Amino acid sequence: MEPMEPTTRLRLDVAYDGTSFHGWTRQPGLRTVQGELEGALATILRRDVPTLTVAGRTDAGVHASGQVAHVDLTREQGDRLARQRHKPRSADSEESLAELLKRRVNGVLGPVPDVVVTAVRLAPEGFDARFSAIWRRYRYRIADAVAAHDPLQRHRTAWHAGELDVARMDAAARSLLGLHDFAAYCKPREGATTIRTLQDFSWRRDDDGVLVAEVKADAFCHSMVRALVGASVAVGEGKLAASDLPLLRDVGERTSAFKVMPARGLTLVEVGYPPDEELASRAEQTRARRELDSSRVTVE
Amino acid sequence: MEPMEPTTRLRLDVAYDGTSFHGWTRQPGLRTVQGELEGALATILRRDVPTLTVAGRTDAGVHASGQVAHVDLTREQGDRLARQRHKPRSADSEESLAELLKRRVNGVLGPVPDVVVTAVRLAPEGFDARFSAIWRRYRYRIADAVAAHDPLQRHRTAWHAGELDVARMDAAARSLLGLHDFAAYCKPREGATTIRTLQDFSWRRDDDGVLVAEVKADAFCHSMVRALVGASVAVGEGKLAASDLPLLRDVGERTSAFKVMPARGLTLVEVGYPPDEELASRAEQTRARRELDSSRVTVE
């Protein structure tokens, strides 16, 4: 085996409007967030384009305000990047490699892009954007009949014709919390576990009447948030009782009692990591578990 | 002169994302908000399409959350609309003509449109969306270097590369208030007055760091808000002193000391009307003044 080349790991915080993307993951011939960002890195670093590792591989149309990814730069790539630094004016301190990467990537992405790198920093020892993550938090927005239907927010809000009962939806959501098999709320994927710890799931109505769900779990199986939201909507419409949601969950099979809601209303808002000193051990644990459960999926 | 046919005047409250519109005013071959709404009315009423009268004829790219318009329906058009009513179920009260128009227009505009009729009601006696209005309120949003650059809000937010000093901008804005000739902040239009009462102009930083201007006046001359915002930005950058803005105003001529800001950051948020009993006299006053000042412009 060749000795590993020393690399510098950078953490990238990323926000995007998912409307015009075919999701996060690079796919030939399709515009994806990973493809767009790696394309920008290719422009800046010229060759040996590094691959981005991401916390939440969002689906087509899903947005993010707090996505997290990492990238490893070789010493040669770091040197190539450093040569793109502005000459510091005498009073300025030198721009860090992280600041430089942020400025260059956003510069390549254009003046009003639908994906923005909001922060870049040196990753702490042991950090892995995917495997160190201990939770993901999503938000889902619905404008029902009594809410403002704001055209300026239509890209990130699902519109619903009837009126929804938010108190019933909130009660139903909270009854699903805890460590359970969420197979009834997952699109099945070969070999992927559907056992998840749902840490937060609540509904509120904002000042403009828009219904907002906060959903937090260690990880999510495929289309889980949108299924949980769809089940909540059935409760809000009176088609299901609040107590039906844990019952459906415990049956453990997909059902036609509710619909999976559209991607448009969904945003990945935050990814949680443990304190720096636990990063490496957390990543090791996750990887070890992943070997047992060969395709642990953190996709929504 | 033919006797006037009796008509029913309806007030429409309208919201739109101006990004894909060539402004409010109908123009042959271009997509405009008025054209889109009158097209929907034509679909519903079939012929003799009524013209919309509007409070603020917004420019290309400018948004609205609280635009106000009115339309007069003849008895025949009212009857044609009434035949599109759902058969009421025994328990339901009959849908009003106003509710019916709202539902039908939004139905024609499509499932996730960039223009929405947010409310329709019978206009009070003497109401004229344009001539009864006593003030218009706009909001302008800028994300500077220290603000979040949220791709989901990019349609309604101008992005600025440097950091802006909001306290200086706010002080400068407030120094412009009152009844003045704002020619220095207007795109000239033949015969249009530039004398306006600026009732509110302030800057604040929202929680996400975005700078927000509130701007309220009896009416605005052409591109006035975007010029006032541009002058504020020059102050926020340190290129102008706060005290320069009233000085420039009093010189009374357009200047290159600041830039007119892009339409993207601008939203018409509210139009003010007097109490119902004063509507007719207010409209008469405005019309009379307009005869003196032949093209009093309320465009932004």
Instruction: Tell me the pLDDT tens digit for each residue of B262-273.
Output: 999 999 999 999
What three-state secondary structure class fits A173?
A: helix
User: pLDDT-derived band of residue A297, with 50, 70 and 90 as boundaries?
Assistant: very low
What three-state secondary structure class fits A4?
A: coil
Put simply, whether A281 touches B (Cβ < 8 Å) is: no
**DSSP 8-state assignment for residue A21:** S
Look at residue A300 in the predicted model and tell me its pLDDT.
54
Put simply, whether B17 touches A (Cβ < 8 Å) is: yes
B210-239 pLDDT, tens digit per residue, is: 999 999 999 999 899 999 999 999 999 999
Put simply, whether B156 touches A (Cβ < 8 Å) is: yes
Contact state of B159 with A115 under an 8 Å Cβ cutoff: no
- What average pLDDT score do residues B4-33 get? 94
- What average pLDDT score do residues B5-20 get? 94
- Predicted ipTM of the assembly: 0.86
The average confidence (pLDDT) of chain B is 91
- What average pLDDT score do residues B244-265 get? 93
Q: State how far the Cα of B227 lies from the Cα of B259, in Å rounded to an integer.
A: 7
Contact state of A159 with B112 under an 8 Å Cβ cutoff: yes
Put simply, whether B159 touches A (Cβ < 8 Å) is: yes
Look at residue A2 in the predicted model and tell me its pLDDT.
53
A50-88 pLDDT, tens digit per residue, is: 899 999 999 999 999 999 999 999 988 888 888 888 766
User: pLDDT-derived band of residue A255, with 50, 70 and 90 as boundaries?
Assistant: confident
Q: Of residues B13, B17, B48, B59, which has the active-site annotation?
A: B59
- Name all domains of chain A by residue range, CATH numbers in brackets: 8-123 (3.30.70.580), 135-270 (3.30.70.660)
- What average pLDDT score do residues A218-230 get? 94
Q: State how far the Cα of A179 lies from the Cα of A83, in Å rounded to an integer.
A: 50
User: pLDDT-derived band of residue A295, with 50, 70 and 90 as boundaries?
Assistant: very low
Pairing assessment for the beta strands A178-181 and A195-205 based on DSSP bridges: antiparallel
Is A200 annotated as catalytic?
Answer: no
**Residue B300 pLDDT greater than 60, yes or no:** no
Look at residue B297 in the predicted model and tell me its pLDDT.
45
**Residue A3 pLDDT greater than 70, yes or no:** no
> Which residues on chain A are in Cβ contact (under 8 Å) with B209?
none
Q: How far is B159 from chain A (nearest CA, A)?
A: 8
Which of B17, B112, B157, B210 to probe the A interface (max A CBs under 10 A)? B112
Q: How far is B103 from chain A (nearest CA, A)?
A: 11
Q: Is the pTM of this model over 0.80?
A: yes
Percent of chain A with pLDDT over 70: 93
Look at residue A291 in the predicted model and tell me its pLDDT.
60
* Residue carrying the six token digits 């403009």: A208
Contact state of A113 with B16 under an 8 Å Cβ cutoff: no
Contact state of A17 with B267 under an 8 Å Cβ cutoff: no
Look at residue B279 in the predicted model and tell me its pLDDT.
87
Put simply, whether B161 touches A (Cβ < 8 Å) is: no
**Residue B88 pLDDT greater than 80, yes or no:** no
Percent of chain B with pLDDT over 90: 72
Contact state of B65 with A150 under an 8 Å Cβ cutoff: yes
Q: Lowest-confidence range among A223-232, A282-291, B59-68, B111-120?
A: A282-291
> Which residues on chain A are in Cβ contact (under 8 Å) with B159?
111-112
User: pLDDT-derived band of residue B294, with 50, 70 and 90 as boundaries?
Assistant: very low
